[in-house]
Structure 1
Amino acid sequence: MSSGGGKRKKPHEEHEEHVNHERWLVSYADMLTLLFVLFVVLYSMSDVNMKKFAQLASGLSSGFGAQSVAFQGQTGPMDGSGNSAEIVQIDPGANPGDGKAGSSSLTAQQKEAVKAAMAAEERSQASKNAQAAAKEAEDLKKIENKISDALAKQKLLGSVKFTIDRRGLVVTVLTNEVVFAGNRADLRPGGRKILDAIAPTLAKLPNRIEVDGNTNQLNAKTTFYPSGWELSAARASTTVRYLVARGLAKNRMSAVGFSDTKPLIDPKDPRSITMNRRVDVVVLTTLTADQAALLPAASGADSKLHTGETTLQAGKRAQSGTGTTDTPSETNTNPATTPAHD
């Protein structure tokens, strides 16, 4: 017997834990809560605007014929907005997954109607693109007129050529000895004078400006640069830096060097020695790609290389109805007087 006199508990009775037989209620309550949330979400998703859905069904019926559409409308009671709603019934025979849905279930007449509607939409979009291209060509021509006005005041109009292509307005500065010395990328006084004339007009534009450097096709060695790539890029960069210093926003500018890969005229032409040695200042268009592709056609004669037209000349041409587009023929084409380097 123990000294306490009481009955000693068995070891397993001392450590036996109380078992909670109601724990399942917690899980059950959680499940009910989740189900309630699920039904609320499903109900909110099922709240469809039946009036708009009925209008869609009516539109489909008028477009494809009442017999071919799986929606049939009936006048129903008032909806929550106080308007007479339309109950839409779906034909059970038109199952989207049974192969009867889509264009395969349309009659020949209905397919022709669909093709005609698509063709009409394409014509409408093409017309909008053409109108946008024509408006852009007109705006670019006005920019050319302003630049030409400034060059004409400095008697430098013959030193610059213009073209309108899918990129935008291309202002071509022929980099003869007046602009850049042979094998050099440092602007000479004549080049600075040309850029000083065109910079104020460019600075007022919202368009991005790209400057492309190009060398001619001569195999002459570039003395101060490894190749024509570095020389053309250096000339483009020099031009960009000069224009930025004259008020053009830095974030609108870019410089690209093309070496002799983008000749302006055929390298076999004697004029190419000077014509292909150039810097192009491109006023980039804001049109989409599809619209910009129509720019050359929309600009007409201005898509060819021509001498700039001043505002006064443009007004006279508009009155007389004649064109003023020039060819590169007025540029010096005597090989004996052209530089034998880039």
Structure 2
Amino acid sequence: MSAGKAGRGAGPPRRRHHDEDHEEHGAGHERWLVTYADMVTLLMVLFIVMFAMSTVDEKKYAQLKEGLAVGFGREQSILNGASPISNAKGASDPGEASYEMLLAQVPESQRETVTKILQESDRLKNERAQGAARAEVDRLLKVWKRIDKALREQGLRDDVRATIDERGLVVSLVSQHVVFEPDIAELTDRGRRVVDTIAPVLAELTEPIELDGHTNQEPVKPRYFPSDWELSLARAANVLHRLEDSHGIPARRLRATGFGHTKPLVDPARHGSQRVNKRVDILVLSQQPAETRALMGEAYAELRREAGLDGLPVDPAGDGTGSDPAAAGSPIPGTDDSREDQP
């Protein structure tokens, strides 16, 4: 019985200890809320920086605005279900409009800091893209110079025109020396020599290779094909098979496309242009990101200006030999009018 009393007497101290623990947990909970609020603010800044560095996606934006609403615990005008991308008035750029609206969610005391972070991020992103574009152009120039050297050794340099644009290195097999006979998709003997000279350099690369077939702009129906679309595609496929069957370039790296008469290399009004426009373009496709490839044409033009070639015919070799026949003012050498009216 005395033990029972002792047991009952020991109860109250334990209850007081439990109450003290409860108070300590309550104080810790309040400190956690302060830390949580700081963390939400930092995450919001991170989301804005990531958003500014990417393209605007309306679905992702909707998810982001919902997250911001929860983080700040308050409703705002742009969070009522309407899309700021489609409803922004007076904004020509949806990305700019949504950026301004997101920035409006930042506490005013932090907006200047966030703005500076975003501006610096954009500047660094542009510098990286420009540097990457310049490096890619330099690399493609080295590929071209190897092709150029091989063609010169075989006396075939005049059969090829080349440039670098946002797609990559473009090597055009022009018909100045009858690479393709009129209405015919098969390469001539000289045309096969040109492809065989270029192929070993292409075989050492890893990039995809696109073969673009073209006809001239004369409104004459081909004799052996339903239209110039089929003829241009057949010419591209003929070069593709030469690269695959005779030089072992894997089929997975190759693709053929026909453009008919829609993409002339030279102004069709120029004398002798139809021989050159009848061609196949071999494209070494750059694998750089889209923002880098978009700057490659500008980087190539800058390299030409630095080399003092601005205003001269475009030529990746950098020696002014003239790989763009449209730059010259005289008739294209080596052409005549005897069969210009055939595709």
Q: Which amino acid aligns with 2:238?
A: T
In structure 1, distance between residues paired with 2:270 and 2:218? 12
In structure 1, distance between residues paired with 2:39 and 2:152? 65
Of 28, 50, 74, which aligns to 1:98? Answer: 74
User: Which residues of 2 match residues 8-23 of structure 1 at below 5 A?
Assistant: none
Is residue 151–residue 197 contact of structure 1 (8 Å, CA) maintained in 2? yes
Q: CA deviation at 1:296?
A: 0.5
Q: TM-score, normalised by structure 2?
A: 0.65
Is residue 240–residue 253 contact of structure 1 (8 Å, CA) maintained in 2? yes
Residue aligning to 2:200: 200
Q: CA deviation at 1:152?
A: 0.8
User: Which residues of 2 match residues 276-295 of structure 1 at below 5 A?
Assistant: 276-295=277-296
User: Which residues of 2 match residues 1-342 of structure 1 at below 5 A?
Assistant: 57=39, 60=42, 96-99=72-75, 103-104=103-104, 106=106, 108=108, 110-176=110-176, 178-245=178-245, 246-300=247-301, 301=304, 306-307=314-315, 309=317, 327-328=324-325, 329=328, 331-332=332-333, 336-337=337-338, 339-342=340-343
In structure 2, distance between residues paired with 1:242 and 1:95? 62
Is residue 147–residue 201 contact of structure 1 (8 Å, CA) maintained in 2? yes
Residue aligning to 2:54: none
Q: Which string of whole-angstrom CA distances, capped at 9 and with x for unpartnered residues, describes residues 245-275 of structure 1?
A: 2121111000000001111122222243122
From the superposition, tell whether residues 247 and 105 of structure 1 become closer, same or farther in structure 2 (CA, over 3 Å): closer
Report the structure number with the largest CA radius of gyration.
Answer: 1
Q: Which amino acid aligns with 1:98?
A: R
Residue aligning to 2:9: none
Aligned to 1:217, what secondary structure does the other structure show? coil
From the superposition, tell whether residues 251 and 305 of structure 1 become closer, same or farther in structure 2 (CA, over 3 Å): farther
Q: How many residues align?
A: 250
Aligned to 1:290, what secondary structure does the other structure show? helix
Residue aligning to 2:10: none
From the superposition, tell whether residues 159 and 217 of structure 1 become closer, same or farther in structure 2 (CA, over 3 Å): same
Q: CA deviation at 1:175?
A: 2.8
Q: Which amino acid aligns with 1:173?
A: L
Is residue 216–residue 260 contact of structure 1 (8 Å, CA) maintained in 2? yes
Across the aligned residues of Structure 1 and Structure 2, the Cα RMSD in angstroms comes to 3.2
In structure 1, distance between residues paired with 2:258 and 2:40? 59
From the superposition, tell whether residues 225 and 105 of structure 1 become closer, same or farther in structure 2 (CA, over 3 Å): closer
Q: Which amino acid aligns with 1:131?
A: G
From the superposition, tell whether residues 98 and 279 of structure 1 become closer, same or farther in structure 2 (CA, over 3 Å): same
Q: TM-score, normalised by structure 1?
A: 0.65
Q: Which string of whole-angstrom CA distances, capped at 9 and with x for unpartnered residues, describes residues 134-174 of structure 1?
A: 01000000000000111011011111011100110000011
Q: Which amino acid aligns with 1:270?
A: H
Aligned to 2:337, what secondary structure does the other structure show? helix
Is residue 273–residue 332 contact of structure 2 (8 Å, CA) maintained in 1? no
Q: CA deviation at 1:337?
A: 4.7
Is residue 157–residue 307 contact of structure 1 (8 Å, CA) maintained in 2? no
Q: Which amino acid aligns with 1:142?
A: K
Is residue 270–residue 333 contact of structure 1 (8 Å, CA) maintained in 2? no
Going by fraction, where is strand more abundant, 1 or 2? Answer: 1
